[in-house]
Each structure stands twice: as C-alpha cells, then as structure tokens.
C-alpha cells in the first residue's frame, strides 16, 4: 500500500487543486490585506475559504471555510441552537445582521483523505444549515 502524501503546509494553488479533485469549482483571489481567498459553492450557495499562516511559515497551515446568508433577519435563536446541537461548525449573527457559518480546518500535517473528510463534512453541514435556515 502506497503511503499517502502528508502536506506540512499548503499553497493556495495546492488547496484549489485538491478542492477541484473533490468536485468543487474554485476561483483564487487575494484580499486587500494579501490573504488568499478561494471562492467556491455547494448546493448552489457560494462560500469562501480563507487561508492563514503564522509569521515565518513557508506556506499556509490553517483555513476557515465561511458562508454568510445576507438578509435572513434575526436568526440568533437558530444560530444558538445550531451551536448547542452541532459539532465542528459554528454559526452566528455578524455585525451587519447576516447569518454566518464557519468551519476551521488544519492545512499542516494533513493528507488528502483528511481534507476530503473536512470538505465532505462542510458540504453536509452547509446543506443542512441552509435548509434549516430557510425553513425557520
């Protein structure tokens, strides 16, 4: 059995490539502060992946997958219930009153199988979040 590659750090291009292997379309952009941001979607709803690295790291070791639902009104009861009953992701109302969901993932010391599991979990949670949000 071949040993799976372990990424010690990931470049934005490597993460885009891995996401594309999982069936996601990706567009790599750069935020005004220089942070790489990957645009993608799941179930017809856009989300972004924001990559982070600490000073001195040669590439990126963590990322945050983020979705914001604009104009849903006050869903604080829903987001509180989501956080109480779900693991891995967190939901909240941002300062503009938008309903948001985030999922933090590691990019250092990881394999493609780990990332496949993370993005599979994101896709499932993201779908449930949107469906429940639209029903509430």
What is the chain's percent helix, strand, coil content, to nearest 5? 30, 30, 35
Tens digit of each residue's pLDDT (9 = 90 or more) over 69-90: 877 677 888 899 999 999 999 9
Walk me through the domains of the chain, giving residue ranges and CATH numbers: 12-135 (3.30.1460.70)
The pLDDT value recorded for residue 17 is 97
Residues 87-98 have pLDDT tens digits of: 999 999 999 889
Question: Alpha-carbon distance 132 to 12, whole Å?
Answer: 32
Query: Residue 116, SS3?
Result: helix
Angle (nearest 5°) at CA 31 between 30 and 35? 75
pLDDT, one tens digit per residue, over 39-48 is 999 888 899 9
């Amino acid at each position: 059995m071949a040993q799976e590659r372990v990424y010690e750090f990931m470049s934005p291009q490597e993460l885009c490539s891995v996401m594309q292997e999982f069936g996601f379309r990706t567009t790599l952009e750069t935020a005004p502060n220089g942070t790489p941001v990957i645009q993608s979607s799941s179930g017809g709803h856009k989300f972004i992946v924001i990559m982070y690295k600490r000073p001195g790291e040669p590439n990126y070791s963590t990322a945050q997958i983020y979705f914001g639902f604009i104009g849903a009104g006050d869903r604080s009861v829903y987001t509180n219930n989501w956080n109480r009953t779900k693991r891995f992701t967190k939901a909240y109302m941002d300062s503009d009153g938008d309903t948001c969901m985030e999922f933090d993932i590691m990019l250092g010391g990881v394999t493609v199988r780990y990332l496949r599991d993370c993005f599979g979990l994101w896709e499932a949670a993201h779908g449930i979040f949107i469906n429940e949000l639209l029903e509430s």
